[in-house]
Structure formats: C-alpha cells, structure tokens
Amino acid sequence: MNAATARSSQTKSFSTIFLIEMWERFGYYGMQALIVYYMVQRLGFADERATLVWGAAAALIYVAPAIGGWVGDKILGTRRTMLLGAVILAIGYGLMVVPGESVWFLFCALGVVVVGNGLFKANAGNLVRKIYEGDDSKIDSAFTIYYMAVNLGAMISQLLTPWLKDYVNAQYGNELGWHVAFAVCAIGLVFGLANYSLMRKAMSHIGSDPDARPLDWGKLGMVLGLGVVAVFASAYILEHQGVARAFVYIAAITVVGIFGWLIATGQRGERAGLIAALVLVVQTMFYFIFYQQMSTSLSLFALRNIDPAFNVFGNHLWDWSPAQFQAFNPIWIFILSPILAWVYAVAGRNKKDLSIAGKFALGFVIVAAGFFIYGAAGHFADASGKVSSWLMVWGYGAISLGELLVSALGLAMIARYVPARMGGFMMGAYYVASGVSQYLGGVVATYASVPQDITEPLQTLPIYTSLFNRLGIAALVCALIAIAVLPLMKRLSATHSAEAVLGHSAAGGDMPSMAAEEQAMRRPQS
C-alpha cells in the first residue's frame, strides 16, 4: 500500500468512527440535557433526590468504560464491542420513550445506558488510537477532531431536544414531549449505526485480536448475560442512595489502591511518572465536581432564575428553553479550542508554554471566575428575581475554558506519564476517578436544593448564589493547591523524562523530541 492509499484508508476509517461517536454523543447529551428536569418536573422528585440520582448515574456511566475496554481488548474485540455498546445505548434511550411514571422503569433504562456506554466509550477512542498507531503527529490531530465530534453532537442535541420537548408539550400535552425528545436520542444512535454499516469496510482491518477471529457466540452470550445483571444492579444502586454512596467510596478506594499497587510494584524508573499521574488525576477529580454542576445546580438555576429572553440594547432576539443553556458548553469549546491551540503554538515557539501542571492551576482559577460570575447574579437580578440570560453565556465561557485546561488534558496526561504496558489499565482507573467525581458533584449540588414549597425566584436566587460563591472559593483553593505542588511536579516530570531518555537509549532508540511530548499534552480528549 503506497502512502497516498494509506492516508486515504486512515481518513475513511477515522470518518467512520467520528460519525458514530458524534451520533452517540448526540444521544447522550440530549438525554443529559433533560434528565434532571424530567425527574423534577415530570416525576415529582425533590431537587436533592434528582441531583443525587443523576450524580450516581453519571458515576456508573463513567466507571463502566473501565470494564468495557477490557471486554473489547480481551473477549469480543474492540470493534464488535463498540458496535454492541451503540446498539444497547439505542435500546436504553428507546426505553425512555415509553410513557409512564414508573421510577423503577426509568432506573432500568438508565442501567441499560450505563451498560451501553461502558461497552461503547472506551472502545471508540481505542479504535482512533489504533487507526493512527505509530504516527504521533497524526494521532494528535485526529484526537483534536475527535473531541470536536463530541462537542458537535452535544451542541446539536442540547439545542434540539429541549426545544422539541417544549414544542410537543405545548401542542399535545405535558407528557408526550419528554418521550418524543428521548426518542430523538435513540434515533441518533440508529443513524450512527446505519452510517457505520455503509462504511464498515473501512474498519475491517482495525481492531483488537478477537476482532480478527470469528465471533464466539458463547462469549457474546456471557457478556450479554452479565450486562443484564449490570442493568438491574445499576437500577438498584440508583434506587438506594446508601448503596450508591458505598459504591462510590469503594470505587475511590479502588483507584487509590490501583495507583499505590502500581507505584509499589512498578520499575524504579516508572515511579516518578506514576506519582505525577496520581497528583494530576486527583486534581482532575476535583474539576469534575465543578463540571457536574452544569447538569444539576446550574440546570435548575436556569429553570428558576434565568430570564429565557436574549436581548441586546433593548431589542429582543430570541428565547431559549432552560435546558438549552447547557449547549453553551460545547459552543464555547468550539470557539475556544482553536484560540487556545494558537496560544499554545505561539507560547511553544517562544519557549514560554506552561507545563501541564501549570495549565491545571490556571484552569481552576478560570473555573473560580465562572462560578463567581454566577454568584454575582443577585446583584443583576430584576425585581422578580430573574437574571439576564447573558450571565449564563459568560459563566459557561469561563467554565468551558477551564475544561480545556484541565479535563481536555486528562487522558493525554495518562499517555505521557504512565508506561505503555499500563496504559489501558490506567485509562480505566482515570474513568473510575471521573465517575467518583460525578457523584460527588451531585452531592455538592444538593446544597442548592430548593424545598418544594418554595417557588418564587426571589426566594430561590440566594440559595443558588450561595452555592456558586462557595464553589468559586473552592476552585480558588484547588488552584492554590495546584500551584503549591508545581515544584514537586517539576521534579517528578524531570525525573520521569530523564528515566525515559535513559530507558530509550538503553534500548537503542533516539531521544524523544520535546515537540512530540508537547503535542501529546495538547491533545484534547473527551
């Protein structure tokens, strides 16, 4: 195969994964935009229960890929497992289309989403790495575009599904709109699978070892059987808050244990990198607590205290549904990503680029600014307690920039500091840590729970601004901690780089270029 043919093959393979990932994220974020509102407005959940249930569901959704990646690598094959996950996700969203008010049925549907996401998420990203394996320059570019797929799907669905829900409810009644919106999430996966079937030949040579062998129906049956068990186990966890807390604590102890075991048993030259990775994983966990507010406390704040009208100099432009404000996160990611890439490039040329630990610290400062913007809402509210929609625009802008500086570098950090032989294992640990944070974010959101007998915006506003100001202070504390550990991180990074160079030289290789390392650090991840 000549170079041009190889490039064309890679492009087709990548396009196939890009499109199914876009549709999968379309479904997931469309559901996320509505789920807390659905529990509060349709099922009558108190704020505290709704935020804790979604926090637990998000934790399960993030933890599941740690297992799904192993299933793809060792049992069914990366490609097959990704497709199976997409089918199961479509079924999960499809179950949410069924009208009714059964809480247990909703929890089972979310359990199906947990299983589907676990099988899909880790394996889709792994396929992108396999397409460009051995070509660092192309894989950096590919993951940048791949991250855009996540945000493109999220932006479209978070604008569409809330509008569709409101429109159908207004036309046909207060129940149907919810389920039509969830149906669109399921249809997105159907489109993704249909597109994959048309382009499947482009993926025939990409996958793990089991993909190259005939499908073992017995193993498929075993995975599906365990998946059914996982669905009901997830529903049980969502139903019982005490069990959810215990699950999160066990997951957190497991992550710490994994790092401790790897540091203790790893080779001497690997320990500095593993310790550096542990420090950054802990910081990333703190970030996800703030991130989870978008679908919980900030979502409910938009429902109760944000004026849906967008006005400029007294001229009315348009109205947005409260759930649509979440779309500002992917919109800002689209706007800020190329700007940040340009800043990185200029700083790199002038040898003034921040280290990844420095970017984490800066990210927390900017996240703090975002929450202080929300905390200042009380100073800009009108007589009824409503706040201009533009406040959400600028608050989301700050939090999204913080995301690009912290979360978007998370998996790239694992790739840099963790030995390749531990890569898959540690990616799983990273997802588990993120899941723990999602639940903790739900717990934090309960501090802004509004009693069901309070409905006036003037009464709800101070409840939300109090939480947002405290989150701003907490983000500043995280920034100070990140700054305090910068000298340690500098020493660990230098030791890790020196050991990597020595190890590479001993193996007869060339010294890795600093440019390649910096590119790896700039690779956005979902």
Tens of pLDDT along 240-282?
Answer: 999 999 988 888 888 788 778 877 877 776 778 788 778 878 8
Q: Is residue 515 part of a domain?
A: no
Asked whether residue 154 carries a pLDDT value surpassing 70, the answer given is: yes
CA distance 169 to 182: 13
Q: Is residue 519 part of a domain?
A: no
Per residue in 188-242, pLDDT (tens digit) is: 899 989 988 888 888 878 877 888 888 889 999 999 999 999 999 999 999 999 9
Q: Is residue 213 part of a domain?
A: yes
- The range of the structural domain enclosing residue 191 comes to 11-239
Q: Is residue 200 part of a domain?
A: yes
Q: Is residue 64 part of a domain?
A: yes
Q: Is residue 452 part of a domain?
A: no
pTM of the full structure: 0.84
| DSSP 8-state code for residue 306 | B
Sign of CA dihedral 240, 241, 242, 243: positive
Give me the pLDDT at residue 347, please: 77
Residue range 500-515: mean pLDDT, rounded? 49
CA distance 380 to 88: 46
Q: What is the CATH number of the domain that holds 218?
A: 1.20.1250.20
Least confident of 160-164, 291-295, 348-352, 421-425: 421-425
Q: Is residue 63 part of a domain?
A: yes
What are the percentages of helix, strand and coil residues in the chain, rounded to 5? 80, 0, 15
Q: Which residue has the higher pLDDT, 497 or 177?
A: 177
Q: Is residue 44 part of a domain?
A: yes
Q: Do 283 and 407 contact (CB within 8 A), yes or no?
A: no
Q: Do 368 and 472 contact (CB within 8 A), yes or no?
A: yes
The beta-strand segments (E) located in 77-171 are none
How many domains are contained in the chain? 1
